[in-house]
Amino acid sequence: MTRLILDVDTGIDDAMALLYACGSPEAEIVAVTCVGGNIGAAQVATNTRAVLELVGRDDVEVALGRERPLVRALEVAPETHGANGLGYAHLPAPAWPLSDRHAVDLLIDEARRRPGEVTLVTLGPLTNLAVALLREPELPRLFARWVLMGGSYRSPGNTAPTTEWNVHVDPDAAKVAFAAWTASAETHGHGRPTALGLDVTERAKITPEHVVALARRAGSTPDDLLSVERGEDLAHAAGSVASNPVIRFVADALRFYMEFHSRYDGFYGAFIHDPLAVAAALDPGLVRTEALTVDVELGGSLTTGETVTDWRRVWGRAPNLDVAVDADAATFLDRFVERVGGLAAEHANVAR
């Protein structure tokens, strides 16, 4: 069993990551912490609880964290994730409250309470983690592992020419977090964080065919809006008609994401970055990594937020990240269909 804390900015692919974690029998979700990123932090907390409630996981503690980056103004991405962060999907307001704990307190408390037992998976900007590290520098030693979705190490960015969104939103926090793990590794000799950047997460490309497969795995009527035959033709229809409520949610959220990628990336489908990071935290064999030295640019006129990676070892500094350089995307997507489709099958009778 892998104990997870997920730090999220729930958006569409974060929502898919939450469903993947809930559908994974080897995952124990200790808590979920929320940070501003794809959408404002308060909406992130609402989205997170609504998604968990959809699949009966209102037992998971959800904590609100930082609502803005360390030193910069918050940027959000409604053009990518929709006005409420979940694309065309609409879920009932969650019936259960947020945690009494602030996300930063939760990260520190749980790491101290179970040293070496909890894997931290960050799927948004690293603001909560940076603040926690400033208060408790021993966190790198206290967490079992840190797996992050963030950075662009050997590929173009998705925000600026060389920057990835999560690092772009709060590059100062990324610099703090990378430096803290580096200093702790030098002192205590523990392992490096595993970083999944755009280099590998853009191989996790979900298509309408996968959505139909999800519906079939759930025993749901295949979704008309994302059917293989009809693709984009019904892009402006009212909403999913799938008989399963979880499949309806997935289809309506992903349809927005697929339309975004169709406009900007030239294909009708979507990169589901965050679920791949969760999958790699549960099964490290899904990715191949290379030990590299990475720093974060803070002062560039064109490159602020770039994860500068020393591929030729010219700095002469010890590696501080295990950067994913390859991923078994096909196996991951098969598991995504099986696990999320299976989870949907278990919750076929949730009210609309």
As given in the structure block, the two tokens for residue 82 are: 């929709």
Give CA angle at 44 (215, 275), nearest 5°: 45
Catalytic site residue from 102, 190, 273, 347? 273
Max CA distance (Å), the chain: 58
Quote the CA–CA distance of 74 and 253 in Å, as a whole number: 23
How far apart are alpha carbons 352 and 199 in whole angstroms? 38
Instruction: Provide the token pair at 180.
Output: 């803290």
Place of tokens 């360390």: 70
**352: exposed, middle or buried (C-beta count within 10 Å: 0-12, 13-18, 19+)?**
exposed
**CA–CA separation, 152 vs 305, rounded Å?**
10
Distance CA 343, CA 194 (A): 27
CB 54 within 8 A of CB 245: yes
190 tagged catalytic: no
Active site residues: 273
